[in-house]
Amino acid sequence: MGRIASFIMAVALGASPAVAQDTAERGYLGVGRLFVNDLIGDGEDRWRTGSYVASFIWGPEWQHELPQGFGDLLELRVSGEIIQPSNLTTVSPTDRPYAGALTFGAHTHFQRGSNEFRAGADLVVIGPQTHLDDFQSSIHDALGMVSPSAAVLGNQIGNSFRPQVSLEYGRLVEFGAGRVRPFVEMQAGAESYARVGFDLTFGSVGLGDMMVRDSVTGHRYRALRHSDPGTSFVIGADMAKVFDSVYLPESRGYTLTDTRDRVRAGVHWQGEKHSVFYGVTWLGKEFVGQSDSQVVGAINLNIEF
């Protein structure tokens, strides 16, 4: 029981438990997290309003780079996201419907030379059955904010279970004090799309770390942290062709935009024991008739003992 309690405490506080000592053995290596909310972005409360993701990593001892074997390094990912219309009181036929989604997935990360790959499968649980609408209402009530009305929640995307598969390929290229990583990504599931983009980093933080991409913002957060103290600045952008989305169903009259664009920037700071990441992402319009783009903020705080 003591070892279990220590493990739970380490995960809750963001600490990285000791890695597996034998490279032939698979063990728990660490966890990465990212919290996203538009209130720490443009200050609004709309559309891609909030999400949280945690990535638990298993594998042999981390060697400061991805292994070459498919399946050697595993990421178990758990995330929750709330998507909402811009008006939480009144249903508008020109705005998107409310939606809550919980995602549970397993992904493997590996490389061949400078070529990096991620492949995974998820189960996306959607609708009132997630109780994310109850969670948001409780938080909004506690903070004195407007909660979703019965009409808005009655119009939300209904209960369903959606299997999902995805693949990402990236290539890391270093130059001077920086490095750029162009990538392509494909997904079929709750949202099906093909995406192309890049991530540009200046600084030492992130070198030797395992980086995982957030699905909402596109930011790459640190799942395994082994960088020396310092600061890194990141810039990125991508463009996706979305073929279908359970959150914007054609049966309800929604038409997806020709492309879905994202532009992001952020800073990683690593101290002797603690680290912080903050970033912002501009999200382009996702459906025809969306009144504006939005800016969401992303934050991660790690405290290690």
Q: Is the pLDDT of residue 4 over 60?
A: no
Long-range Cβ contact pairs of 236-239 (< 8 A, separation 24 or more): 236/197, 236/198, 236/199, 236/200, 236/262, 236/263, 236/264, 236/265, 237/197, 237/198, 237/261, 237/262, 237/263, 237/264, 238/183, 238/185, 238/195, 238/196, 238/197, 238/198, 238/262, 239/195, 239/196, 239/197
Q: What is the pTM of this model?
A: 0.89
Would you give the distance in Å from CA 40 to the centre of its chain? 16
Amino acid at position 130, single letter:
T
CA-CA distance, 286 to 70, in Å (whole number)?
Answer: 34
pLDDT for the residue numbered 176: 83
| CA 106 to chain centroid | 14
Compute CA 81 distance to the chain's CA centroid, rounded to the nearest angstrom: 9
Domain 2-302 annotated CATH 2.40.128.140:
yes
- Which among 71, 76, 175 is positioned nearest to 117, based on CA atoms? 71
The helix/strand/coil state of 141 is helix
**What's residue 24's pLDDT?**
53
The tokens for 218 are 């596109």
The CA distance from 272 to 234, in Å, is: 21
Domain boundaries in the chain?
2-302
SS3 135: helix
Identify whether the C-beta of residue 133 lies closer than 8 Å to the C-beta of residue 153: yes
Considering only CA atoms, which of 113, 118, 217, 212 is closest in space to residue 168? 118
In this prediction, residue 226 carries a pLDDT of 85
Nearest to 218 by CA among 192, 205, 237, 196: 237
Task: Characterise 133 by phi-psi region: left (phi > 0), alpha (psi -120 to 50), beta (else).
Answer: alpha
Reported confidence tier of residue 228, pLDDT bands at 50, 70, 90: confident
Low-confidence winner among 22-26, 104-108, 143-147 (lowest mean pLDDT): 22-26
Can you give the pLDDT at residue 273? Answer: 86
For 209-223, write each residue's pLDDT tens digit: 999 999 999 999 999
Please say if the pLDDT value at position 282 is more than 70. Answer: yes
In tens, the pLDDT along 34-63 reads 999 999 999 999 999 999 999 999 999 999
